[in-house]
Amino acid sequence: MQAIARFLLPALLLAAFTAHAQALDKKNVEKFLTEMDQAQINLDAAGMEKFLSPGVKITMSITQGGKKQTTEMSRGEYIASARQNFAAAKDYRYQRSNTKIEIAGGGKKAVVTAKNVESMKVQGLPMTGISQVTLTVELIDGQPLVTSVMADGTVK
């Protein structure tokens, strides 16, 4: 179950926000999210590490088969798991909805909540994961980086 939980880490962790920013606002955070969505759809783990802060805190609570498991991962653990699990996914689909963006700290921090739905086949078996995600993006030396992810999901 832990491998499945790691695979279903919300897409909000994946991808790029390439421009340096002096302040976060809803427009540039939405651009960030859209770019991450595309990387998620493409199962692109190769460039993910540089977009996560070195001390990113990733916490997931996943319910599967009536059992709930909470997992914490470091940046390195997540990257290794994503590479492995993306290689196993077939017929992958992803959708983000109900996105809310709150800007805090004078534009130095954004808190994003969203619902993510992922479906795929792993070893020929269909799986669907539905997660409620809270993602924190902070400006660090002018660069937006993901500093925290909390996800509560269900795998079917």
Start-end of H helices in 68-109 = 75-88
pLDDT by residue (tens digit) across 3-32?
Answer: 454 555 544 444 334 445 689 999 988 988
Beta strands 52-64 and 143-155: pairing type?
A: parallel
Q: Tell me how far apart the alpha carbons of residues 76 and 38 are, in angstroms, rounded to a whole number.
A: 22
Q: Give the pLDDT confidence score for residue 62 in this predicted structure.
A: 95
Q: Give the pLDDT confidence score for residue 11 in this predicted structure.
A: 44
Q: Give the pLDDT confidence score for residue 119 in this predicted structure.
A: 95
147 burial (CB, 10 Å; 0-12 / 13-18 / 19+) is middle
Q: Give the pLDDT confidence score for residue 91 in this predicted structure.
A: 95
Q: Tell me how far apart the alpha carbons of residues 50 and 75 are, in angstroms, rounded to a whole number.
A: 10
Model confidence at 147, in pLDDT bands (50, 70, 90)? very high
Q: Give the pLDDT confidence score for residue 20 in this predicted structure.
A: 59
| pLDDT > 80? residue 152 | yes
* Average pLDDT value for residue range 66-73: 96
Contact assessment for residue 32 and residue 144, using Cβ atoms and an 8 Å cutoff: yes
Q: Give the pLDDT confidence score for residue 84 in this predicted structure.
A: 87
pLDDT by residue (tens digit) across 87-127?
Answer: 899 999 999 999 999 999 999 999 999 999 999 999 999 99
| pLDDT > 60? residue 76 | yes
Contact assessment for residue 55 and residue 78, using Cβ atoms and an 8 Å cutoff: no
Q: Which domains does the chain have, with CATH numbers?
A: 2-155 (3.10.450.50)
